[in-house]
Amino acid sequence: MTFCLKTTIIRPEKDVSIKNAVILLHGYGGDGKDISMLTLNWKRFLPDTIFLCPNGHEKCVINPTGYQWFDLTRDDPEYILDHSKKAEIKLKQFIEEIKNEYGLKNSQICLSGFSQGCMMSINLGLTSGENYNCIVGFSGKIINQDDLIKRKTSSTKMLLMHGDKDEVVSPTFLLEAKDFLIRNDVEAETNMIKNCDHHIPVKASSIALNYIKNNFQIL
Active site residue 162: no
Nearest to 192 by CA among 145, 143, 138: 138
Query: What is the percent of the chain with per-residue pLDDT over 90, rounded to a whole number?
Result: 94
Assigned domain for 2 exists: no
Q: Please, which pLDDT band fits residue 219 given cuts at 50, 70 and 90?
A: low
Out of 115, 121, 128, 205, the active site residue is 115
Assigned domain for 31 exists: yes
82 has which bridge partners?
none
Assigned domain for 163 exists: yes
The pLDDT, as a whole number, for residue 157 is 98
**Alpha carbons 76 and 11: distance in angstroms, whole number:** 39
Cβ density class 20-34: b for 16+ within 10 Å, e for less: bbbbbbbbbbbbbeb
Active site residue 115: yes
| Count of the separate structural domains present in the chain | 1
Active site residue 154: no
CATH value at residue 35? 3.40.50.1820
Q: Please, which pLDDT band fits residue 19 given cuts at 50, 70 and 90?
A: very high
Q: Provide mean pLDDT across the span 194-205.
A: 98
Range of the domain at 29: 7-216
Per-residue model confidence as pLDDT tens digits over 25-81:
999 999 999 999 999 999 999 999 999 999 999 999 899 899 999 999 888 999 999
Per-residue model confidence as pLDDT tens digits over 164-176:
999 999 999 999 9
Assigned domain for 75 exists: yes
Assigned domain for 1 exists: no
The pLDDT, as a whole number, for residue 164 is 98
